[in-house]
Chains A and B, each alone.
Chain A
Amino acid sequence: MRAKDPTDEEAWADFVGYYERFIFYLLHRMNIKSDDLDDLAQMILVKLWKYIGSYEKQANTKFRTWLGLVVRNIVYTYYQTEQRRKNVIVSNVEIDEETIAEEGSDLEKTIVKEWEIYMTNFALERMRGNFSETAVKVFEMSLSGTPAKEIAASLNISVDSVYTLKNRAKTHLIEEIRAIKQKVEL
């Protein structure tokens, strides 16, 4: 995979394209204050890029687990350093030394979960561009629990069409997620 070759400029651009938004999203979810956001995101991207060559796919280590680990460590180290410099008001940050101390901690789980949510949403967003608008709407409405009858009425289509479009959208979404996973996850 090209992302593993750190000499390739194009690969770097691709890499940033895939992960930058996720990292911002993640840091935002972690309640990192905005002053630090840019610095930290940049640092994580560079470190990921550096470490990515050392990632070897193993049967029991999933990419997102590895990703969660790397990000957690960087964030943790960053705050430790900053705290030493007295630059950070600890109470502002929801990172608890105890929770991030060991592997498989809540923070790591959170990162994995956020990656999954980010990825699936990213897939849906991409689908929007080249899939029937109505089908996507049907899918989103049924996702939030709207009854088929109501969907049919609000979009002015038949109930049968609601089921057809929902299944069609679901299949395409799964296909899309698979495609993205293959590209982005090592």
Chain B
Amino acid sequence: MGDEMNPFSVNPLLQDFYRMAEQNVRLDPEELNAVFHELLNVSQRYQSPRVFAEGGMKRIYKVYDARGKRFLALAMLREDAHERLRDPFIQEAWLTARLDHPNIISVHDVGVKDGQHPYFTMDLKHGMTLRDLIVKLKSGDRKTRDQYPLETLLQIFLKVCDAVSYAHSVNVVHLDLKPANIQIGEYGRVLVCDWGLGRKLSHKNSQESDPMQSDPVLMGSASLYGEFKGTPGYMAPEQLEQDGTVDERSDIYGLGCILYSLLTFQRPLDGDDDEMIRQTKEGAIVPPDQRAPEQAIPSSLNAVTMRALATDPGMRYASVDALRHELQRFLTGFATEAEHAGVLKQLSLFYRRNRRFCITVLSSLLLITVSAVWAFRALSEKERLASEAKLRAERTLALYEAGQTELEKVNAANVDSIVRLSNRYLFAGDSTRAGAVLETALQEHSGNDLLQRSLGVIHFCNQRFKEAIPLLDVGIYKNGELTRLAEKFADKNPDESWLSVDDLIDCLRGLQDYKPQALAMVLLDQKHRPDLEERAKVIEAYLRTINPEWLDGWFEYDQKSGTLRMGGRGLKTLSIQHSVLVGLNLRDLNISGSEVSKLWNEGVLGLERLDIRGTPIKEAWFLKQMPHLQELIITPNQLSMISHMVPQWVQVIERSYP
């Protein structure tokens, strides 16, 4: 008989154990409940310590917690620390242990080793500090900058605000808020650490049944014995006064410093300690937009930062929530209070929020204008030529002025920063100003390769290929891919008109390695392509260019209902820097079944309905940028912490997918 018929393959060697089971041998309980006995026998809970950080009077070890079977961070006073530091050290541990918030580091165990060395254990920090991140951002690391655009940095900052706001709600102040004390990790983890200077405020709301209130030990005396009372350059002015009263507003100042660093990638103040202390007291802080003009810091954020950094505590935000609210307003496109927004600003924000309505009104106006122009065609040829010449002259003057003023700001000698400035305009869709800046600079640096090349790229993106070729084909760029493409398509539009849809799509395919240029090209093209169906085709081609693995899948656009459904394997990115979907007047975006994981730039679309089922999107922060969104369709449990993230105006519909 073959073994394959055997319904149950057996090991005859096991038979002996039947006898053993039959004999009434007592089995060793340590073998039966091995795990229980293992835990019972742990005599040394924290094992194999390894120093991994040192700060102030503390030393932090990475230890293995044999009871919890995990690695933890263990903090201990240094051997040379004075005995009187023990109490403050333990108070820090207790204070932190009482703070229970996802963005505040957790203390797991507080104890004394060998009867004399107090210690406490806490989460082992992964990732890097916010300070490390800022240093990387400052160094201009491309990858880091792509990974942490302004929106992402602000989201991190909001989490810090959450943590501090919670601490204030239980009357605890941190007093040493700075980027080095913020830990950031994967999956959006943000932790506020090092509450060593933190203290319990004794005032107000004491009728609340707050367990921390009744504990005099927690009032905090850390700074009495501590070596440092804070970090110069991040400390609020009142912390520097002999008998200055510190309160929640001192933390607002600290938050202001962090925000400042996030915007400028620099510390608010520089110099030696004495110098910084003097500047802090005088309030001599250079506003972020002047400190780092190349960052194009939004004026609203500039104003928010400066208000948080006011020398007089009374002039700062009264609470963290007020500060948080301002940033929220910025992220959702409302004018912030600190901005003292004028009519024009309000209007532009009104436009951002009510794009569809505005577009309707504006297109009606445009229609009227076009009719008027039609009527004026009756004007004589002579008059037309004259007015055209005048227009051209005016345009040239405007270009020149645009170039002049901007150039003054960026210090005309620096070609790199000129190109960067020009790119900023180009990717904001303003090729005229981008070109003007370069043209003006070329007058001073005539024949500069980089400037010429950049101007050539602008012509290329504007589909003026003939003009572009001589500028593109210079220096190290000779015979490059862009030149080749320009030559190919120069024949397709000899009169420098706009390419047909098919030709443009063909051209975009050639731009796989030139994604920013492809973006600029699409943005500029959309302005001159009124037909929405044609726009959609161009956009699809662009998305396929930036998603080279998106080989099949679907892209279905319905102009009437403003619906776009797209997805499939390999569709990972909807936008780089700017969303090209803006031109499609979308109400309803369905990306279910795509691999899109981020929607940071899609806030401008004014969506009313969004379907993200089957995508890897788990966080819902982007929703706050979508003030018009009414319905969000997800699969059950797709979003983590849903109630916290989803704004009240959004109705979440859970549906299975597919």
CB distance from A77 to the nearest CB of B (A): 23
Chain B residue contacts of A119, Cβ below 8 A: 18
A174 engages B20 (CB within 8 Å): yes
Chain A residue contacts of B21, Cβ below 8 A: 174, 177-178, 181
Interface status of B207 (Cβ within 8 A of chain A): no
CB distance from B247 to the nearest CB of A (A): 56
A120 engages B6 (CB within 8 Å): no
Q: How far is the CA of A161 from the CA of B11 in the complex (A)?
A: 24
CB distance from A178 to the nearest CB of B (A): 5
B17 engages A174 (CB within 8 Å): yes
Interface status of B10 (Cβ within 8 A of chain A): yes
Using CB atoms, name the residue of chain A closest to B31.
A171
A171 engages B8 (CB within 8 Å): no
Given contacts A116-B15, A117-B14, A172 and B8 within 8 Å (CB-CB): no
A168 engages B31 (CB within 8 Å): yes
Q: How far is the CA of A117 from the CA of B17 in the complex (A)?
A: 9
Chain B residue contacts of A24, Cβ below 8 A: 7-8
Count of chain A residues with a beta carbon within 8 Å of a chain B beta carbon: 29
Chain B residue contacts of A83, Cβ below 8 A: none
B17 engages A120 (CB within 8 Å): yes
Chain B residue contacts of A171, Cβ below 8 A: 27-28, 31-32
B17 engages A118 (CB within 8 Å): no
Q: How far is the CA of A169 from the CA of B22 in the complex (A)?
A: 17
Using CB atoms, name the residue of chain B closest to A165.
B34
Interface status of A173 (Cβ within 8 A of chain B): yes
Chain A residue contacts of B7, Cβ below 8 A: 21, 24-25, 28
B17 engages A28 (CB within 8 Å): no
CB distance from B25 to the nearest CB of A (A): 8
Chain B residue contacts of A143, Cβ below 8 A: 11, 13-14
Interface status of A42 (Cβ within 8 A of chain B): no
Chain A residue contacts of B32, Cβ below 8 A: 171-172, 175
B10 engages A117 (CB within 8 Å): yes
Chain B 14-50 residues near chain A, CB threshold 8 A: 14-15, 17-18, 20-22, 25, 27-28, 31-32, 34
Q: Is the interface of B mostly helix, strand, loop or mixed?
A: helix
Chain B residue contacts of A25, Cβ below 8 A: 6-8, 10
Chain A 114-145 per-residue mask, 1 if CB under 8 angstroms from chain B, else 0:
00111111011000000000000000100110
A144 engages B31 (CB within 8 Å): no
Interface status of B5 (Cβ within 8 A of chain A): yes
Interface status of B1 (Cβ within 8 A of chain A): yes
Which of B7, B13, B14 has most chain A Cβ within 10 Å? Answer: B14
Given contacts A28-B1, A28-B5, A31-B1, A118 and B31 within 8 Å (CB-CB): no
Chain B residue contacts of A116, Cβ below 8 A: 15, 18
A121 engages B1 (CB within 8 Å): no
Interface status of B271 (Cβ within 8 A of chain A): no
Interface status of B342 (Cβ within 8 A of chain A): no
- Partner pick for A168 among B10, B13, B14, B34, CB 8 A cutoff: B34
A34 engages B13 (CB within 8 Å): no
Using CB atoms, name the residue of chain A closest to B29.
A171
Interface status of A2 (Cβ within 8 A of chain B): no
Chain B residue contacts of A174, Cβ below 8 A: 17, 20-21, 25, 27
B14 engages A124 (CB within 8 Å): yes
B6 engages A28 (CB within 8 Å): yes
Q: How far is the CA of A56 from the CA of B11 in the complex (A)?
A: 31
Chain B residue contacts of A120, Cβ below 8 A: 14-15, 17-18
B12 engages A117 (CB within 8 Å): yes
A167 engages B15 (CB within 8 Å): no
B8 engages A21 (CB within 8 Å): yes
CB distance from B81 to the nearest CB of A (A): 40
Q: How far is the CA of A177 from the CA of B15 in the complex (A)?
A: 11
Chain B 550-576 residues near chain A, CB threshold 8 A: none
Q: How far is the CA of A119 from the CA of B21 in the complex (A)?
A: 11
CB distance from A27 to the nearest CB of B (A): 10
Chain A 15-35 per-residue mask, 1 if CB under 8 angstroms from chain B, else 0:
000000100110010010010
A140 engages B11 (CB within 8 Å): yes
Q: How far is the CA of A174 from the CA of B13 in the complex (A)?
A: 14
A118 engages B27 (CB within 8 Å): no
Which of A24, A121, A178 has most chain B Cβ within 10 Å? Answer: A121
CB distance from A149 to the nearest CB of B (A): 20
Using CB atoms, name the residue of chain A closest to B32.
A171
Chain B residue contacts of A168, Cβ below 8 A: 31, 34
Given contacts A28-B1, A167-B31, A121 and B8 within 8 Å (CB-CB): yes
CB distance from A76 to the nearest CB of B (A): 20
Chain A 95-120 residues near chain B, CB threshold 8 A: 113, 116-120
Chain A residue contacts of B10, Cβ below 8 A: 25, 117-118, 121
Q: How far is the CA of A174 from the CA of B24 in the complex (A)?
A: 11
Chain B residue contacts of A117, Cβ below 8 A: 10-12, 14-15, 18
Chain A residue contacts of B27, Cβ below 8 A: 171, 174-175
CB distance from A84 to the nearest CB of B (A): 26
Using CB atoms, name the residue of chain A closest to B23.
A174
Given contacts A25-B8, A28-B6, A28-B7, A173 and B31 within 8 Å (CB-CB): no
Chain B residue contacts of A118, Cβ below 8 A: 8, 10
CB distance from A44 to the nearest CB of B (A): 15
CB distance from B407 to the nearest CB of A (A): 66
B17 engages A177 (CB within 8 Å): yes
Q: How far is the CA of A113 from the CA of B15 in the complex (A)?
A: 8
Chain B residue contacts of A144, Cβ below 8 A: 13
Q: How far is the CA of A123 from the CA of B20 in the complex (A)?
A: 13
Chain B 307-360 residues near chain A, CB threshold 8 A: none
Which of B1, B18, B27, B31 has most chain A Cβ within 10 Å? Answer: B18
CB distance from B307 to the nearest CB of A (A): 60
Q: How far is the CA of A114 from the CA of B31 in the complex (A)?
A: 29
Chain A residue contacts of B18, Cβ below 8 A: 116-117, 119-120, 177
Using CB atoms, name the residue of chain A closest to B1.
A31
B17 engages A173 (CB within 8 Å): yes
Q: How far is the CA of A20 from the CA of B13 in the complex (A)?
A: 23
Using CB atoms, name the residue of chain A closest to B28.
A171
Q: How far is the CA of A31 from the CA of B13 in the complex (A)?
A: 21
Chain A residue contacts of B14, Cβ below 8 A: 117, 120-121, 123-124, 143, 173
CB distance from B28 to the nearest CB of A (A): 6
A121 engages B11 (CB within 8 Å): yes
Chain A residue contacts of B22, Cβ below 8 A: 181
Using CB atoms, name the residue of chain A closest to B24.
A178
Chain B residue contacts of A175, Cβ below 8 A: 27, 32
Q: How far is the CA of A140 from the CA of B12 in the complex (A)?
A: 12
Using CB atoms, name the residue of chain A closest to B17.
A120
Using CB atoms, name the residue of chain B closest to A121.
B10
CB distance from B24 to the nearest CB of A (A): 10
Some 24 contacts from A to B, beta carbons below 8 A apart, are: A21-B7, A21-B8, A24-B7, A24-B8, A25-B10, A31-B1, A113-B15, A116-B18, A118-B8, A120-B14, A124-B14, A140-B11, A143-B13, A167-B28, A168-B31, A171-B28, A171-B31, A172-B32, A173-B14, A174-B17, A174-B25, A174-B27, A177-B18, A181-B21
Minimum-distance CB pairs A-B, first 8 = A177-B21, A120-B14, A171-B31, A116-B18, A121-B10, A117-B15, A178-B21, A174-B21
Given A121-B8, A121-B14, 20 new contacts (CB under 8 A): A24-B7, A25-B7, A25-B10, A28-B7, A34-B5, A116-B15, A117-B11, A117-B15, A118-B10, A120-B18, A121-B11, A123-B14, A144-B13, A167-B31, A168-B34, A171-B28, A174-B17, A174-B27, A177-B21, A178-B21
Q: Which residues of B contact A (CB under 8 A)?
A: 1, 5-8, 10-15, 17-18, 20-22, 25, 27-28, 31-32, 34
